[in-house]
Amino acid sequence: MSILIDKKTRLLVQGITGGEGSFHTQRCIEYGSNVVAGVTPGKGGSETLGVPIFNTVETAVEKTQANASIIFVPAAFAADAILEAVDAGIPLVVCITEGIPVLDMVMVHNYLRGKQTRLIGPNCPGLISPGKCKAGLMAGEIHLPGNIGVVSRSGTLTYETVAQLTSLGIGQSTCVGIGGDPLPGTTFVDILELFQKDKETKAVVLIGEIGGIAEQDAADFIKKKMNKPVVAFVAGATAPPGRRMGHAGAIISGSSGRAQDKIAALAAAGATIASSPAEIGLTMRKVLQKWDATH
Amino acid sequence: MKIHEYQAKALMSEFGIPIPQGAVATSAAEVKKIAAELGGRVAIKAQVYAGGRGKAGGIKVAGSPEEAETLAAQMLGTRLVTHQTATEGVPVSKVLVEKAVSVQQELYLSIVVATANRMSVMMASEAGGMDIEEVARTSPEKILLEYIDRATGFQAFQGRKLAYGMNLSQNLIRPAANLMANLYRLFQAKDCSLAEINPLVVTTDGEIMALDAKLNFDDNALFRHSDIEQLHDVEQEDPLEVKANELGVKNYIKMDGNIGCLVNGAGLAMAVMDLITLAGGRPANFLDIGTVNNTDRVVAAFKVFTTDPSVKAILVNIFGGIARVDVIAQGIVEAHHQMDIPQPLVIRLAGTNVDEGKSILAESGIKFIEATNFLDAASKAVAAAKGERN
């Protein structure tokens, strides 16, 4: 098993004919993902990379039974693209787009309430279940199928972590980038809950960063609901307060946003803290050795 | 993005929020003229992108136009240092001159997006005029919250709840509720990230008005607000950050160390800064190069590094995903063609198109120190910045 995506995922790409959309669609196909449809208004009826293009998401779903969508639409139009996917009833929507206005996301969240769709992102690298399906930007070849779940607010730091795990021979069940926006569709807690339930996932790596209280919420969940080991790293311990560090979410405002507070909360909840970002893989190896010796 | 108080007040006034009478000035002579027109006592307020002006001497009250002129002359052209600024302070090039208001009561009002609830929220308190975070710590019961449904907007009953909650007298309930509704209209219409009135005052004449005003805007929404974007005052920002921004390097923050960092991804950039610090060095900046599809931004980053005298070594750490390593490598080569780069350069590349990227660098013949992983990269950069050979 794995979470959210696997061999049964039928992927639709919104914005498939754009530069980023077509480049990464091709990468996903090469990795073995089943890309069944693309949507670009005005280009319906044509084909790209061997994938049929439709004018609307609704038609694409009707004709291809797509059950997941990945969005590469520019920021000004991305909220509309998310709403279109939710309206079409797609259960999993992954929004890669960076720079969506916050008030657009407030509108999206309002629309999502009570709907069945799970939104991942925006401003995220997407997700991958190694060996099964890739719905994201990550380089497929750094991954190794296995049983470690990875969840992160940062894209490239996730790649870094995965590369460390793979080089130590530690494979991954699913790696999810939840994105760096202040209003993510899916939180650490949502993903931890799925990893806790997933039989194939044995342990979890959580990568947080300064700003907000998502890591504290995760700590609370780990303490109350998880019996699988968690290794955590929080980026930004040396960041100056009050400054926005690229990710809209990564601004320290008030004491709860500081790396030290997040690390303390996660450690108190029983997570093992990687003291350096270069030691996340090694920390997981130690945790697994200890776990195997006692279980 | 921030704007000045006088600009925020003009916007609030446009949206029907009462503000004191006044005008902005750039010279002491102008201040005198405005003060004479207003008559009576006036407040002179330094226009800077920083809070804590009052305690730092950035707000003065004058009894006559002559006194206003003298006080303004002491303020204009200086740099104001407050607890929110860097030690060198921020320049005071404009002052707002306002008719002094006789205050009966100070209140607090703001709107932000509550990330936990994913909704906008209006915050009101009868403990106005002070640091709201301090109020939150010492008397949280004095802060009232109304979450705003995106579909219905801010409703009259919510305004009444907050107004009665702040113990306003009956005749002020409707004006206060209207003011709140107007502030939400402004917040929504202009894509604010913060709309704050502290203090919101009740005057001895029984009027309610915004004595101070702060509006911050969502940078990601500026594409649809060119009127707001042009209000930005670059003089208030760090000059290197302004230069970086002009060159198209958006996610750049100047720091106090000596290792210039070029990284893709905000999280990885922060992790690199952490790693440099763990290795005994100090980063000169935070820089997330972002999604690179052309080489211009990489070249621009090198322009910033070569302009910054504090940079003693440059660390490039790229893990390609949406950004492609070959494009970054090409950018590094182009930067070397366009300028002299005296600092030692440490490069670590991984991810999408890494092999293409590495061969571009190898074939270019440029001098650099190769790092195999990012711990290696940080340690080599720290050593290079100290002048040690690798």
* B22 burial type by CB count under 10 A (0-12 exposed, 13-18 middle, 19+ buried): buried
- Pinpoint the alpha helices (H) of B91-246: 132-138, 156-165, 170-189, 226-229, 239-246
Contact at CB, B268 and A98, closer than 8 angstroms = no
Q: Which among A109, A166, A238 is the top mutation candidate for probing chain B, defined by the most B β-carbons within 10 Å of its own β-carbon?
A: A238
Identify which of B218, B251, B375 has the shortest CB distance to residue A102: B218
Contact at CB, B150 and A106, closer than 8 angstroms = yes
Which 3 state secondary structure label does DSSP give B356?
helix
Q: Which two tokens stand for residue B374?
A: 């990012």
Instruction: Tell me the whole-structure pTM to 2 decimals.
Output: 0.90
Alpha carbon distances (Å) from B115 to B144, B222, B279, B325, B326: 17, 20, 35, 34, 37
Instruction: Work out the number of other CB atoms within 10 angstroms of the CB of residue B227.
Output: 8
Phi, then psi, of A29 in degrees rounded to 5? -65, -45
B/e letters for B327-355, b = 16+ CB within 10 Å, e = fewer, are bbbbbbbbbbeeeebebbbbbbbbbbbbe
A246 at B interface, C-beta within 8 A: yes
Phi, then psi, of A171 in degrees rounded to 5? -85, 170
Q: Confirm if A36 and A91 have CB atoms less than 8 A apart.
A: no
pLDDT, residue A245, reads 52
Identify which of B120, B265, B351 has the shortest CB distance to residue A139: B351
Q: Confirm if A222 and A269 have CB atoms less than 8 A apart.
A: yes
Cα–Cα nearest to B206, from B178, B183, B176: B176
pLDDT, residue A250, reads 47
Q: Which residues contact B61 (CB under 8 A, 6 or more apart)?
A: B41, B42, B43, B44, B100
Residues of A in contact with B272 (CB under 8 A): 277
pLDDT, residue B243, reads 86
B81/B48 Cα distance (integer angstroms): 10
Give the long-range contacts of residues B123-131, CB within 8 A, separation 24 or more.
B124/B162, B124/B163, B124/B165, B124/B166, B124/B180, B125/B166, B126/B166, B126/B167, B128/B198, B128/B199, B128/B200, B128/B201, B129/B198, B129/B199
Q: Which residues contact A199 (CB under 8 A, 6 or more apart)?
A: A1
Q: Which two tokens stand for residue A85?
A: 């996917």
Whether the link from the prior residue into B199 is cis, omega within 30° of 0, is: yes
A20/A73 Cα distance (integer angstroms): 9
Q: In whole numbers, what is the pLDDT of chain B averaged over residues? A: 92
What are the strands, taking DSSP E only, across chain B? Answer: 22-25, 42-46, 59-62, 79-80, 90-91, 95-99, 103-114, 119-125, 143-148, 192-203, 208-210, 214-217, 251-254, 259-263, 285-288, 313-320, 345-351, 369-370
What residue ranges define each of the domains in chain B, with the CATH number in brackets?
Answer: 1-20+102-237 (3.30.470.20), 21-100 (3.30.1490.20), 238-385 (3.40.50.261)
Per-range mean pLDDT, top range of B230-239, B333-342, B381-390: B333-342
Q: Strands B95-99, B143-148: parallel, antiparallel or unpaired by DSSP?
A: unpaired
Q: Which of 35-64 (A) contact B at CB < 8 A?
A: none
Contact at CB, A163 and B350, closer than 8 angstroms = yes
Catalytic residue among A24, A109, A143, A247: A247
A153 at B interface, C-beta within 8 A: yes
Give the long-range contacts of residues A237-242, CB within 8 A, separation 24 or more.
A237/A210, A237/A263, A237/B274, A237/B277, A238/B270, A238/B273, A238/B274, A238/B276, A238/B277, A238/B283, A239/A210, A239/B270, A239/B273, A239/B286, A240/B253, A240/B255, A242/B84
The sign one gets for the Cα dihedral A206, A212, A214, A215 is positive
pLDDT, residue B84, reads 78
Q: Which residues contact B192 (CB under 8 A, 6 or more apart)?
A: B111, B186, B215, B216, B217, B218
Compute the count of residue pairs across chains A and B with CB atoms less than 8 Å apart.
Answer: 173
Q: How far is B206 from chain A (nearest CA, A)?
A: 35
Q: Which two tokens stand for residue A47?
A: 């084909």
* A294 burial type by CB count under 10 A (0-12 exposed, 13-18 middle, 19+ buried): exposed
A98 at B interface, C-beta within 8 A: yes
Q: Confirm if B306 and B270 have CB atoms less than 8 A apart.
A: no
Catalytic site includes residue A109: no
Which positions of B are annotated as active-site residues? 108, 196
- Chain centroid to Cα B9, Å, comes to 18
pLDDT, residue A34, reads 98
A277 at B interface, C-beta within 8 A: yes
pLDDT, residue A252, reads 45
Q: Which two tokens stand for residue B94?
A: 């404009």
Q: Confirm if A154 and A259 have CB atoms less than 8 A apart.
A: no
Contact at CB, B267 and A240, closer than 8 angstroms = no
pLDDT in tens, B7-45: 999 999 999 999 999 999 999 999 999 999 999 899 999
- Name the amino acid, one letter, at B338: Q
Residues of B in contact with A105 (CB under 8 A): 118
Q: Which residues contact B137 (CB under 8 A, 6 or more apart)?
A: none
A267 at B interface, C-beta within 8 A: no
Contact at CB, B374 and A160, closer than 8 angstroms = yes
Residues of B in contact with A128 (CB under 8 A): none
- Which residue of chain A is at minimal alpha-carbon distance from B224? A76
Identify which of B291, B293, B375 has the shortest CB distance to residue A98: B291
Q: Of all helices (H) and strands (E), which one includes residue A164?
A: helix A155-167
Q: In the beta sheet, which residues pair with residue B384? A: none
Contact at CB, B267 and A163, closer than 8 angstroms = no
Identify which of B268, B283, B291 has the shortest CB distance to residue A154: B268
Longest dimension (CA), chain A: 60
Residues of B in contact with A158 (CB under 8 A): 267
Which 3 state secondary structure label does DSSP give A22?
helix
Q: Which two tokens stand for residue A67?
A: 């059950």
Q: Confirm if B225 and B217 have CB atoms less than 8 A apart.
A: yes
- Could you say which DSSP state residue A6 is in? S
Identify which of B267, B270, B283 has the shortest CB distance to residue A155: B267
Alpha carbon distances (Å) from A44 to A11, A59, B282: 17, 10, 53
Phi, then psi, of A96 in degrees rounded to 5? -80, -35
List the single range of A85-99, A141-155, B84-98, B213-227 with lowest mean pLDDT.
B84-98
Tens digit of each residue's pLDDT, chain A (295 residues): 799 999 999 999 999 999 889 999 999 999 999 999 999 999 999 999 999 999 999 999 999 999 999 999 999 999 999 999 999 999 999 999 999 999 999 999 999 999 999 999 999 999 999 999 999 999 899 999 999 999 999 888 999 999 999 999 999 999 999 998 889 999 999 999 999 999 999 999 999 998 888 999 999 999 999 999 999 999 988 877 655 555 444 444 555 678 899 999 999 999 999 988 999 999 999 999 999 998 8
pLDDT in tens, B276-298: 999 999 999 999 887 766 789 99
Identify which of B218, B268, B293 has the shortest CB distance to residue A160: B268
Contact at CB, A139 and B218, closer than 8 angstroms = no
What residue ranges define each of the domains in chain A, with the CATH number in brackets?
Answer: 10-120 (3.40.50.720), 138-294 (3.40.50.261)
Q: Which residues contact B158 (CB under 8 A, 6 or more apart)?
A: B122, B146, B148, B180
- Name the amino acid, one letter, at B296: D
Q: Confirm if B9 and B19 have CB atoms less than 8 A apart.
A: yes
A243 at B interface, C-beta within 8 A: yes
A189 at B interface, C-beta within 8 A: no
Greater confidence (A33 vs B56) lies with: A33
Identify which of A142, A157, A233 has the shortest CB distance to residue B265: A157
- Which residue of chain A is at minimal alpha-carbon distance from B257? A238
Residues of B in contact with A109 (CB under 8 A): 118-119, 150
pLDDT, residue A243, reads 59
Q: Confirm if B127 and B135 have CB atoms less than 8 A apart.
A: yes
Residues of A in contact with B133 (CB under 8 A): 254
B359/A13 Cα distance (integer angstroms): 32
Identify which of A103, A238, A243 has the shortest CB distance to residue B188: A103
A145/A2 Cα distance (integer angstroms): 10
Cα–Cα nearest to A96, from A132, A118, A58, A69: A69
Residues of B in contact with A139 (CB under 8 A): 320-321, 351-352
pLDDT-derived band at B267 (thresholds 50, 70, 90) equals confident
Task: Tell me: pLDDT of B77 over 60.
Answer: yes
Cα–Cα nearest to A49, from A67, A69, A34: A34
Contact at CB, B267 and A159, closer than 8 angstroms = no
Q: How far is B187 from chain A (nearest CA, A)?
A: 10
Contact at CB, A210 and B267, closer than 8 angstroms = no
A114 at B interface, C-beta within 8 A: no
Q: Which residues contact B301 (CB under 8 A, 6 or more apart)?
A: B244, B249, B252, B262, B287, B289, B335
Planar angle of CA B303, B305, B307, nearest 5 degrees: 70
